[in-house]
Amino acid sequence: MKKIILALLMLLPACVGTMAQGGDTKVREAELQKLAIAIVATKQLYVDSVDGKKLVEDAIRGMIEKLDPHSSYSTPKEVKAFNEPLQGNFEGVGVQFNMLEDTLLVVQTINDGPSEKVGILAGDRFVSVNDTAIAGVQMSKEEIMRRLRGPKGTKVKIGVKRNGIKDIVYFTVVRDKIPLNTIDAFYMIRPTVGYIKVSSFGATTHSEFLNALKSLKESGMKDLIIDLEDNGGGYLQAAAEVLNELLPENDLLVYTEGRAVRRQEFRARGNGRFLDGRVVVLVNEYSASAAEIVSGAIQDQDRGTIVGRRTFGKGLVQRPIDLPDGSMIRLTVAHYYTPSGRCIQKPYEKGKIKDYAMDLINRYKHGEFTNADSIHFADSLKYETLKKHRTIYGGGGVMPDFFVPLDTTKYTKFHRELSAKSIVLNANLRYAEKHRKELIKTYGKDANGADGKGGIEAFIREYEIPQSMIDEIYAEGKKQKVEPKDETEREQTTKALKMQLKALVARDIWTMTEFYKIMNEDSDIVKCALKQLGEM
């Protein structure tokens, strides 16, 4: 073992020399030697056999966990899963699906994607992949996805069960690049008000945002609502590009600065496509990182109004460090600051990740989600907006200009339990599958009514969820011992369920845009935004 350690140590100076180029980040040779000896000694001398690869990974995780809550280590598999939504595409067959019991049910095919090209339809059930059964065998969703995905240009044989056809139909699909959109919906929510729902900030967000702006402006948009609720963030650059479309030339958008990282500023170039109309940004406690960059800049520069609840409070910048085996360390190297100088990272103690994870629960228990008066900021965290000199605060998230309390009565405990057990989703999938042809015949395949039918407007106006569907959900709930505490809770649940199910059916027949067209009319945050624009 001594020879192994000596051989390893001979390699260390070169490694140290490479890492020492950062000046203050220099790692002493003795520290590397200590780590190398510990790993080699454990692998060679420990009483039981150990996995060397796992030993190294555990050592890295142990170091990272003692830092801030957002530095992390990821395996090659985790890196791929993490990057796909941000990169904006993956290679596969091009279907949106849900698992109905133990069967993959196609909800939508990607427009002009591989599956649509060969004739696979919404409502089809995938029962086999390359002659291997995937239905009725309790195969995990992750394993099914692994079998369907693969390099562009490769072929996969899919067995499909289709309503009205007795035998299984087989399709050979040529895999291709499949886009992953980061904008879930955009539409005219009022005659002169556009609405854009941004779910995350990835490589394609800016181009998607430009497409949405162009379409909405052509439809008569004068004012804009940007919905960043539940947006967990993404690329800082993507957030800056979106802000560039909204702010005038040379306005500061965001800047970053760290111990070993110089201050870097992002400023508007003056070529934005929406510089004049009013802007309202919607946020909640799950809006984080890049979403806070956008909302913070809009607020600091007095460009628009922020509506909702205090955001998550993530103001740390991670740099990806690729490792030779495809794994990655995401290391926090800087803080980001809004234009007024606010660092909106909420407080944390190094190494106490569990306490950090409990923050939202503690905020809920403290009453912050339901009462703005329960939120207190120290005077030392007081800042001013840059143009109108309004008072704003740093120290943990972006506090909206107009607070909208969380309505804890809208969704009952009974409703939440039905949803948690997938009873609501499964009932919706079965209903949409059974009635898809009938609904398309009545309202049309084109949500805008371009095919001569009434489209989504007629659907919203005329369609009602049948009571039989509600009864089916409650019956299944009873089987699984999920029941309302009294008749009042049942009635309240029924009202909210009908709204939710109607939106889900619209999504399955058309797209997520139609889902939001229905759900937004019942959203208190959206209503508040419309009120600020004089549309309520």
Conformational region of residue 519, where left means phi above 0, alpha means psi within -120 to 50, and beta covers everything else: alpha
> Which of the 8 DSSP states describes residue 179?
E
pLDDT, tens only, 139-176: 888 888 888 988 899 999 999 988 778 889 899 999 99
Q: pLDDT of 511-531, one tens digit each? A: 999 999 999 999 999 999 999
16 has pLDDT over 50: no
Task: Say which DSSP state 303 is in.
Answer: -
Given a cut of 50, is residue 12 above it in pLDDT?
A: no
pLDDT of residue 27: 54
Answer for the pair 320, 280: CB distance below 8 angstroms, yes or no: no
The mean per-residue pLDDT over the stretch 244-253 comes to 98
Q: What are phi and psi of 476, to 5 degrees?
A: -65, -35
Q: Three-class SS string for 431-448?
A: HHHHHHHHHHHHHCCCCC
Closest CA to 237 of 207, 280, 261, 270: 207
Residues forming beta bridges with residue 227, ordered by sequence position: 197, 282
SS3 129: strand
3-class DSSP assignment, residue 386: coil
Predicted pLDDT of residue 85: 64
pLDDT at 110: 80
What predicted TM-score, i.e. pTM, was given to this entire model? 0.85
At residue 87 the predicted structure's pLDDT band, cuts being 50, 70 and 90, is low
- Residue 10's pLDDT is what? 47
Mean pLDDT of all residues belonging to the chain:
88
In whole angstroms, give the CA distance from residue 205 to residue 183: 7
Using CA atoms in the order 490, 493, 494, 499, what is the torsion angle rounded to 10 degrees? 180
Quote the CA–CA distance of 494 and 477 in Å, as a whole number. 13
Confidence of residue 412 (pLDDT cuts 50, 70, 90): very high
Catalytic residues: 289, 300, 314
Give ∠ CA 527-528-531 in degrees, rounded to 5: 90
* Pairwise CA distance, residues 87 & 85, whole Å: 6
What's the number of CA atoms in the CB half-sphere (13 Å) around residue 156? 25
Q: Six-digit token pair at 394?
A: 């740093």
**How far apart (Å, rounded) are the C-alpha atoms in residues 253 and 299?**
11
Query: CA nearest 224: which of 507, 501, 437, 529?
Result: 529
Mean pLDDT on 355-373:
83
Q: What is the pLDDT of residue 89?
A: 65
Long-range contacts of 250-255 (CB under 8 A, 24+ apart): 251/301, 251/303, 251/339, 252/297, 252/301, 252/339, 253/293, 253/297, 253/339, 254/293, 254/296, 254/297, 254/336, 254/337, 254/338, 254/339, 255/336, 255/337, 255/339
**Range in 9-18, 373-382, 475-484 with the lowest mean pLDDT:** 9-18
| pLDDT tens readout for residues 472-515 | 999 999 999 999 999 999 999 999 999 999 999 999 899 999 99
Per-residue model confidence as pLDDT tens digits over 22-37:
444 445 677 778 888 8
Reference 313, options 381, 405, 222; nearest CA is: 381
CA 529 to chain centroid: 22
**Considering the chain, what percentage of its residues have pLDDT values greater than 70?**
93
Query: Taking Cα atoms as reference points, which of 505, 496, 498 lies closest to residue 431?
Result: 505
In whole angstroms, what is the distance from residue 489 CA to residue 491 CA? 6
> What pLDDT, on a 0 to 100 scale, did the predictor assign at position 50?
86
Note the pLDDT of residue 23. 42
Angle between helices 236-244 and 205-218 (to 10 degrees): 20
End-to-end CA, the chain = 76
Q: What's at 360, amino acid-wise?
A: L
Strands in 246-389 per DSSP E: 252-257, 264-267, 279-283, 305-308, 316-322, 328-337, 382-384
Amino acid at 516: Y
Which of 63-67, 424-428, 503-507 is most confident?
503-507
Q: In sequence order, which ranges of 330-372 are alpha helices (DSSP H)? A: 353-357, 359-366
- The pLDDT assigned to 201 comes to 94
CA distance 280 to 274: 13
pLDDT value at residue 18: 44
Helices (H), 406-523: 413-420, 423-443, 455-462, 467-479, 487-509, 512-519
Q: What is the dihedral of CA 363, 226, 273, 393, to 10 degrees?
A: -20
The answer, yes or no, to whether residue 418 has pLDDT greater than 70, is yes
**Residue 360, SS3 per DSSP:** helix
Is the separation of the CB atoms in 345 and 311 below 8 Å? Answer: no
pLDDT at 28: 64
Q: 186 has which bridge partners?
A: 196
Phi-psi region of 77 (alpha: psi -120 to 50; beta: other; left: phi over 0): alpha
Q: How far is CA 255 from CA 245, 336, 341, in A?
A: 17, 6, 9
- Decide: 168 and 127 in contact? Cβ < 8 Å: yes
Task: Give pLDDT tens digits for 190-232.
Answer: 999 999 999 999 999 999 999 999 999 999 999 999 999 999 9
Q: Is 278 exposed, middle or buried (0-12, 13-18, 19+ CB in 10 A)?
A: middle
